[in-house]
């Protein structure tokens, strides 16, 4: 499990990073559609901040949750 | 006049509250060095979250961030990106730093580097770079507090007095209570910042435009270039992306962030903090709204200084009552003071332990070291205050230079944590070449492709380390670092 675990967390980190810089953010570089009143590019950053949090939370629960030790 | 008195009254009440909370934390710790510096390594997740968060959100959050969205538009999202990516480094590196610190009694970056590479001069070098980088950073917080006071009270409290008030409070509780004082006050200051930021961001767009969505629709109609990259000032993706990377991954080399890794009660606590860290970046979202709101308001008559946009919006445009202005000032001061407290605490420890420890204070007792650290908090705060009075503007340049330099410690620190085969000569050569290249690009030549100079310097640094490792292996003249 550890090898897959490290690979997946690494991939998640890389994906979130690339989504917020070139080239990932290129696909979101537009105003329409607006979401929650925000221009799409603004919403894109709000979304990936949340994605990073959710991914890290899952990784945390898998590794440190329950009775498992570090 | 009476309005300004209300503003001053609210703010002084807030400062008194912070001072009371900070001094109260004193009774809860032992007086050992470990207690004063690292909170006895028993700082739990809630307090650590606010310590780490509050030191990232400085005067810049209330002045610079809305300034960026007002001046550039979409490139301001760089701040959201890098802040939410910072926890990746904490997640990957923090638990190992905490573990080594606990096992070997490290309290600073210099401790770890000097011990791992068996080289005192390398530790002193890291300490000197740390102090040189931290003092201008502290100065900017003090100057920020002075400017805020002066503007929000219409000059009733002048710059010199405002800066002095804020930092007498900070120096007092850091002097007396060390890291525990910082933890409890940052809890108060963090809550203050969040509430004020969201209140201002939402109510300003509501008052002027009838809501956030309505505000962006109006900007889209008249000035759509602000809402997508490259923004109103034409910032290219290369600079944007490399600036995000340098700030997000290099930022963890700042001694005041790095040293907090030692204070965690476990690696698990650090991981838990990093999980919630991206959420803290949401604090900045409403502050960006305020900058966007200013784009149309000041379209015909642009502000001379973009980073005054929040102050101008709150005081001149939105017509808030003096009570709100007083709370705004308290929230913004909270951001400047909580960062300032961390910086003063860290700079004093690095100065006494890494720089004076192996030289002037060799063999001093622990009691003498704690006392020297306390007095250094006052001394360094005073120096930063005098710098702030002299000329705050030129210091931004100094800080930029310091940032690029502190990042050059990255390979050295990674080597100490994860790569035991890296030799002292390799990391030293890499750091020297990287720093020199950074300074040349920042002050003499322009950076290739318009990228952030820190990325090029970093690539060069890593390249030199790799080449030195390879050559050293071939000629067998380098001595491998003794294994632990």
| DSSP characters over B447-460 | PGGG--HHHHHHHH
Q: What is the pLDDT of residue B223?
A: 94
Q: What is the pLDDT of residue B38?
A: 67
Q: What is the pLDDT of residue B450?
A: 83
Contact B286, B205 (CB under 8 A): no
pLDDT class of A68 with cuts at 50, 70, 90: very low
Domain B2-395 in CATH 3.40.50.1820? The answer is no
Geometric angle at alpha carbon B371, from B173 and B386, rounded to 5°? 60
SS3 assignment, position B393:
coil
Which residues of chain A neighbour B80 with C-beta distances below 8 Å? 20, 45-46, 49
Contact B384, B142 (CB under 8 A): yes
Q: Would you say residue B328 has pLDDT above 50?
A: yes
Q: What are phi and psi of B43, to 5 degrees?
A: -85, 125
Domain boundaries in chain B? 2-395, 419-484
Q: What is the pLDDT of residue A53?
A: 93
Q: What would the mean pLDDT of B371-394 be, rounded to a whole number?
A: 85
Q: To 10 degrees, what angle do helices B120-152 and B395-407 make? A: 150
pLDDT class of B459 with cuts at 50, 70, 90: very high
Nearest-Cα residue of chain A relative to residue B224: A31
Q: Would you say residue B184 has pLDDT above 80?
A: no
pLDDT class of A55 with cuts at 50, 70, 90: very high
Which residues of chain B neighbour A45 with C-beta distances below 8 Å? 77, 80-81
Cβ <8 Å between A37 and B213:
yes
Q: What are phi and psi of A33, to 5 degrees?
A: -80, 145
pLDDT class of B243 with cuts at 50, 70, 90: confident
B236 Cβ under 8 Å from any chain A Cβ:
no
Rounded Cα gap, residues B263 and B270, in angstroms: 10
Q: Would you say residue B394 has pLDDT above 70?
A: no
| Minimum mean pLDDT range among B69-73, B187-191, B410-414, B429-433 | B187-191
Rounded Cα gap, residues B122 and B88, in angstroms: 27
Q: What is the pLDDT of residue B70?
A: 94
CB contact set of A4 (below 8 Å; sequence gap of 6+)? none
Of B85, B237, B272, the CB nearest to A22: B237
> Could you read off the pLDDT of B57-96 as tens digits, one per residue?
777 788 888 999 999 999 999 989 988 998 898 898 989 9
Cβ <8 Å between B241 and A21:
yes
Do you know the residue count of chain A?
70
B191 compared with B419, residue with greater pLDDT: B419
Q: Would you say residue B42 has pLDDT above 80?
A: no
Q: What would the mean pLDDT of B88-112 be, rounded to a whole number?
A: 90
Domain boundaries in chain A? 13-64
Q: What is the pLDDT of residue B333?
A: 87
Cβ <8 Å between B272 and A64:
yes
ipTM of predicted complex: 0.92
Assigned token pair, B482: 């003794």
B388 compared with A68, residue with greater pLDDT: B388
Rounded Cα gap, residues B197 and B189, in angstroms: 12
B58 compared with B385, residue with greater pLDDT: B385
Q: What would the mean pLDDT of B340-359 be, rounded to a whole number?
A: 87
Rounded Cα gap, residues B120 and A34, in angstroms: 57
Cβ <8 Å between B227 and A41:
yes
Percent of chain B with pLDDT over 90: 24
Nearest-Cα residue of chain A relative to residue B238: A22
Of B211, B237, B278, the CB nearest to A49: B278
B272 Cβ under 8 Å from any chain A Cβ:
yes
Q: What is the pLDDT of residue B466?
A: 92
Question: Can you give the three-state secondary structure of B14-80, one letter per residue?
Answer: HHHHHHHHHHHHHHHCCCCHHHHHHHHHCECHHHHHHHHHHHHCCHHHHHHHHHHHHHCCHHHHHHH
Q: What is the pLDDT of residue B338?
A: 83
Which residues of chain B neighbour A42 with C-beta distances below 8 Å? 74, 77, 216, 227
Q: Would you say residue B27 has pLDDT above 70?
A: no
Q: What is the pLDDT of residue B398?
A: 64
Geometric angle at alpha carbon B385, from B380 and B389, rounded to 5°? 150
Q: Would you say residue B479 has pLDDT above 60?
A: no
Cβ <8 Å between A57 and B237:
no
Q: What are phi and psi of B301, to 5 degrees?
A: -135, 75
pLDDT class of B397 with cuts at 50, 70, 90: low
> Could you read off the pLDDT of A3-54 as tens digits, one per residue?
899 999 999 999 999 999 988 899 999 998 999 999 999 999 999 999 999 9
> Could you read off the pLDDT of B282-320 as tens digits, one per residue?
888 999 999 999 999 999 889 888 888 998 898 888 888
| Minimum mean pLDDT range among B161-170, B225-234, B466-475 | B466-475
Q: What is the pLDDT of residue A69?
A: 47
Q: What would the mean pLDDT of B215-243 be, rounded to a whole number?
A: 92
Rounded Cα gap, residues B246 and B237, in angstroms: 14
B403 compared with B268, residue with greater pLDDT: B268
Q: What is the pLDDT of residue B484?
A: 44
CB contact set of B245 (below 8 Å; sequence gap of 6+)? A17, A21, B452, B455
Q: Would you say residue B36 has pLDDT above 80?
A: no
């Amino acid at each position: 499990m550890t090898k897959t675990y490290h690979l997946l967390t690494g991939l998640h980190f890389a994906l979130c990073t690339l989504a917020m810089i070139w080239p990932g953010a290129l696909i979101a570089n537009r105003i329409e559609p607006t979401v929650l009143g925000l221009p799409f590019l603004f919403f894109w950053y709000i979304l990936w901040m949340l994605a990073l949090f959710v991914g890290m939370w899952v990784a945390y629960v898998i590794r440190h949750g329950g009775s498992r030790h570090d | 006049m009476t309005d300004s008195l209300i503003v001053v009254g609210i703010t002084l009440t807030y400062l008194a509250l912070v001072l009371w909370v900070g001094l109260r934390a004193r009774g809860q710790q032992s007086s050992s060095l470990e207690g004063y510096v690292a909170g006895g390594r028993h700082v739990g997740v809630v307090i650590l979250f606010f310590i780490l968060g509050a030191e990232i959100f400085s005067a810049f959050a209330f002045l610079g961030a809305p300034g960026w969205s007002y001046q550039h538009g979409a490139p301001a999202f760089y701040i959201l990106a890098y802040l939410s990516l910072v926890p990746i480094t904490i997640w990957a590196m923090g638990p190992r730093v905490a573990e080594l610190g606990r096992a070997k009694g490290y309290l600073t970056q210099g401790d770890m580097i000097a011990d791992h590479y068996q080289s005192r001069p390398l530790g002193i070098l890291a300490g000197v770079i740390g102090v040189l980088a931290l003092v201008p950073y502290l100065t900017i917080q003090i100057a920020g507090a002075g400017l805020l006071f002066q503007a929000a009270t219409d000059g009733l409290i002048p710059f010199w007095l405002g800066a002095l008030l804020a930092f007498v409070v900070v120096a007092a509780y850091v002097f007396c209570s060390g890291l525990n004082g910082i933890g409890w006050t940052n809890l108060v200051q963090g809550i203050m910042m969040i509430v004020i930021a969201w209140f201002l961001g939402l109510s300003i767009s509501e008052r002027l435009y009838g809501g956030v969505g309505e505000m962006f629709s109006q900007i889209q109609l008249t000035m759509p270039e602000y809402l997508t990259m490259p923004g109103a000032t034409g910032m290219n993706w290369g600079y944007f992306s490399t600036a995000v990377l340098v700030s997000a991954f290099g930022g963890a080399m700042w001694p005041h962030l790095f040293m907090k890794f030692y204070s965690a009660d476990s690696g698990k606590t650090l991981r838990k903090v990093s999980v919630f860290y991206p959420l803290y970046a949401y604090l900045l979202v409403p502050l960006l709204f305020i900058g966007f709101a200013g784009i149309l308001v000041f379209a015909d008559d642009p502000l001379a200084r973009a980073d005054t946009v929040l102050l101008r919006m709150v005081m001149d445009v939105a017509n808030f009552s003096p009570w709100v202005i007083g709370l705004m000032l308290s929230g913004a001061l909270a951001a400047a003071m909580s960062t300032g407290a961390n910086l003063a605490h860290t700079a004093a420890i690095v100065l006494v332990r890494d720089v004076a420890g192996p030289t002037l204070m060799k063999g001093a007792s622990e009691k003498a070291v704690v006392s020297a650290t306390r007095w250094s908090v006052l001394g360094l705060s005073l120096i930063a205050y005098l710098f702030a009075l002299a000329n705050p503007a030129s210091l931004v340049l100094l800080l930029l230079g310091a940032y690029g330099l502190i990042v050059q410690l990255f390979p050295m620190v990674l080597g100490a944590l994860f790569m035991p085969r890296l030799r002292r000569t390799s990391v030293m050569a890499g750091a020297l070449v990287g720093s020199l290249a950074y300074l040349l690009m920042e002050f003499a030549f322009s950076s290739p492709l318009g990228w952030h100079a820190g990325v090029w310097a970093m690539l060069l640094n890593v390249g030199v380390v790799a080449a030195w490792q390879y050559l050293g292996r071939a000629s067998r003249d380098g001595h491998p670092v003794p294994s632990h």
